[in-house]
Amino acid sequence: MDVVQVLPRLRMLRFPVGAAYLWRDDDELTLIDTGTADCAAQIEDALNGELRRIVLTHWHEDHTGAAAELAARHGAEVVAHRLEAPVVRGEVAGVPPTLQDFEIPIRAALPPLPPAPPCRVDREVEHGDELAFGGGAVVIAVPGHTDGSIALHLPGPGVLFTGDAVANIGRTMLGVFNTDRSRAVESLQRLAQLEVDSVLFGHGEPIVHGAAAALRGAAAETVSHPDA
């Protein structure tokens, strides 16, 4: 795992597959996503304050894998969308993606990931709810990648966490492996309307400044190339 200082209050935890983020408010930490199930010890090494909450952008195992272990050890509040919570808890199975033709070889080339142990969810959120970090983090529903995917918008510092609704691998683009591509496109277009400076992705490098233009460009591309 690589630890990257993105902003004074924000560190990226980069894993072989995907990333998580640590936001600091004084001595209180918020963890956005948790990597795979074998990442808990590495994440703990990066903690330098009280882990107050864990926010899960969606249920996939590369985002929720270490959540149960970290929540149990640190007593952190676990937050997820209402539609994701039953999957995170292990009560129901998540819906698999509907792959586009170009996504099939990409998916086949990925290494197998350890399953995510069931994890409690203490707070189920909806679109528009606010979380008490970063000066007020607004939950934005971004269905399409999964039914209950969320992004987090921090209007004060101009920061956006996209989860897998958007990726930035070589270029800023619609995230792959969606359950409903048309809804995913709508979600990207919603995010592109935000005035943000920094954007953090579930997969790919952060854009630290001027990120709104990259989001608008990605949204425009889904209109001009709807099958890409």
DSSP string computed for the chain: -EEEEEETTEEEEE-SS-EEEEEEETTEEEEE---SGGGHHHHHHH--SEEEEEE-SS--HHHHTTHHHHHHHH--EEEEETTTHHHHTTSSPPPPP---TTHHHHHHHSPP-PPPPP---SEEE-TT-EESSTT-EEEEE-TTSSTT-EEEEETTTTEEE-TTSEEESSSEEEPSS-S-HHHHHHHHHHHTTS--SEEE-SSB--B-SSHHHHHHHHHHHHHHSTT-
Predicted confidence (pLDDT) at residue 197 exceeds the cutoff of 90: yes
Q: What is the CATH number of domain 2-92+100-224?
A: 3.60.15.10
pLDDT given for residue 110 in this prediction: 86
Average pLDDT over residues 166-180: 96
Average pLDDT over residues 85-114: 93
Predicted confidence (pLDDT) at residue 228 exceeds the cutoff of 60: no
What residue ranges do the domains of the chain occupy?
2-92+100-224
